[in-house]
Chains A and B, each alone.
Chain A
């Protein structure tokens, strides 16, 4: 069974541009989570989507947004990129909610903002 996949593997942008990151969850999983792993800061929760709706978001500005499609795949959009947005962005999926089932992570997209 395929795991969580993310694309692209690497993404290089310049300040002010927009970045779009994609995630495909494990088949049967309806929840998708996005995390930012910046150097020295550990993992920071960004967004949680379930059944197409945003369920929760972390302490990030509105220029971080996303959506979940009917097939449960998800996009993370980062507008007006800043240098400090350079990080590894991890997507995770789980069955509905996170209560009884843990999250399975993808390999991540490394975003570099120049």
Chain B
């Protein structure tokens, strides 16, 4: 089946690390994405990882992929108030006409 799941809410104190988790069901996924949506704005691509990678780091962002468990996570180090947004996990299914499946999004709330 085709399903991407993520928890709906996450609260983190400013300065701490945020970890947003995502699970997917289709093993044919090739690229996995993290998008950020701020209020009133469109989706912004944060980072992506190819399915043959385990980890990707980009400044404060670290993506971990466990392909065996079909688990993807996004870690944001030193979380700031500007990180407050909805984060979408998505997978690209190259065997399904390049279909992209999105999760419902995780709302990240930053506590002072």
Contacts and interface: CB of A to CB of B under 8 A. Distances in A.
A64 interface: no
B104 A41 contact: yes
B100 A45 contact: yes
Given A42-B103, A42-B104, A102-B31, A108 B98 contact: no
A90 interface: yes
A105 B33 CA distance: 13
Interface residues of B, number: 24
Given A41-B104, A98-B92, A102-B33, A55 B97 contact: yes
Interface string A46-84: 001000000110000000000000000000000000000
Contacts of A104: 45
Contacts of A45: 99-102
Interface string B41-60: 11111001000000000000
A11 interface: no
Nearest to B48: A102
Contacts of B102: 35, 42-45
Nearest to A42: B104
A12 to B, nearest CB: 17
Contacts of A92: 43
Interface of B: 30-31, 33, 35, 40-45, 48, 88, 90, 92, 94, 97-105
